[in-house]
Amino acid sequence: MFPGALLTSGQIVYFGCPTQMMQYFTSIDFPCPKFKNPCDFYVDLATHDHQSPAASAESSARIAKLIQCWEPLKSTPPQVTKSSVSPMLSRPSMIDSIEAVYRRNWYELMNEPLRSLREPLMALLMSGIIGTAFFSMTRQKRAAASDRIADEQKRTAFEMLRKAGVSTILFINLEFLWDLPLLTLTAALYSLPVPFLTGSSIMEAAFGASVNSSELTIGCQRREVLAKMIMDDSDERTS
C-alpha cells in the first residue's frame, strides 16, 4: 500500500484521496466494520489468504471483484480537494524575520557564550602569536592566505543562509549588523598586544588603535566581499 494507492498482485484496487477510501469501498459493498482501523481492514481485504484452500478461493474471488470494480475508474482522474493554506504556514513579513533571526542569535549567545565569543577570544590569543611569527610576511603571501580563508567563510555563510530561511539580502544585512559589535570587540582585543610588541606605552597604543582600527576595517571589508560572493553565486544559481 502506498499513500493514496492500494495494490494487489500488481493490479490497482484503489487510487485516490485517502479520505474518500471508505466511501468508495462502501459503494462496492465492502464497508469497514465499526471499531476497526480502515487502513488495516482494506489492506487485509486486498491480500491473498493462503491458510486454507477455502480461504484462498474466497480471497481470490474477492480480489478479482475489487479489480473488476476499479477497472472502469482507471481513466477517471482523481479528485483533488482544494484547501486553503493555514496562516501559520504563510511567508513571514520582514519584521517577523528580523525578530526571529535576532532571537536565534541572542539564544545562541546566552546559551553558548563561548561559541559566540570564540572569534574575539581567539583574536586575543592569536594576535600576539601571529604578530610575532609572521611580522615579515609579504603582501603576496598574505593574499594567498586570505583567499583560502575567504573560501572557507563562503561555505560557512551559505550553510548559515540555508538554516536562516530568509532572503539573501536580508540575511547579509542582519549578519553584518550582528557581527559589528563582535568586530569592534575583536579589533580592541587585537590592539592589546601592541604595546608589548612595539615597546610603546599603553596610552599611545590605545590612541593608535582608536585612530587606525585596521581589524575593524578589514572585518567590514571581509563581510562586504563575502556578501558580494554570495550575491554573485545566488545570481549564477538562479540563472
**Same domain assignment for residues 123 and 215:** yes
**Same domain assignment for residues 23 and 59:** yes
**Same domain assignment for residues 18 and 127:** no
Strand partners, 11: 8
**Same domain assignment for residues 188 and 232:** yes
Q: Which of 14, 47, 73 is the last residue of a domain?
A: 73
pTM for the complete prediction? 0.33
| Domains in the chain, number | 2
More confident residue, 46 or 197: 46
Which residue segment(s) compose the domain that 21 sits in?
A: 5-73
Per DSSP, the three-state class of 218 is helix
Q: Which of 51, 73, 95 is the last residue of a domain?
A: 73
**Same domain assignment for residues 12 and 97:** no
**Same domain assignment for residues 220 and 142:** yes
Strand runs labelled E in the chain:
5-8, 11-15
Tell me the three cell numbers of residue 226: 563575502
**Same domain assignment for residues 168 and 224:** yes
Cα–Cα distance for residue pair 212/216, rounded to 1 Å: 9
pLDDT in tens, 204-236: 555 555 544 555 555 555 555 556 655 666 555
Residue 121 lies in a domain: yes
Q: How many helices (H) and strands (E) does the chain have?
A: 11, 2
Q: Which of 49, 73, 97 is the last residue of a domain?
A: 73
Residue 45 lies in a domain: yes
Query: Is 201's pLDDT higher than 80?
Result: no
**Same domain assignment for residues 114 and 172:** yes
pLDDT in tens, 73-88: 776 665 656 666 666 6
Tell me the three cell numbers of residue 121: 577570544
pLDDT of residue 233: 61
Strand partners, 14: 6
Strand pairing category for 5-8 and 11-15: antiparallel
**Same domain assignment for residues 65 and 93:** no
CA 214 to chain CA centroid, nearest Å: 34
Residue 79 lies in a domain: no
**Same domain assignment for residues 232 and 142:** yes
Residue 81 lies in a domain: no
Residue 28 lies in a domain: yes
**Same domain assignment for residues 62 and 98:** no
**Same domain assignment for residues 110 and 196:** yes
What average pLDDT does range 77-101 have in this prediction? 71
Residue 203 lies in a domain: yes
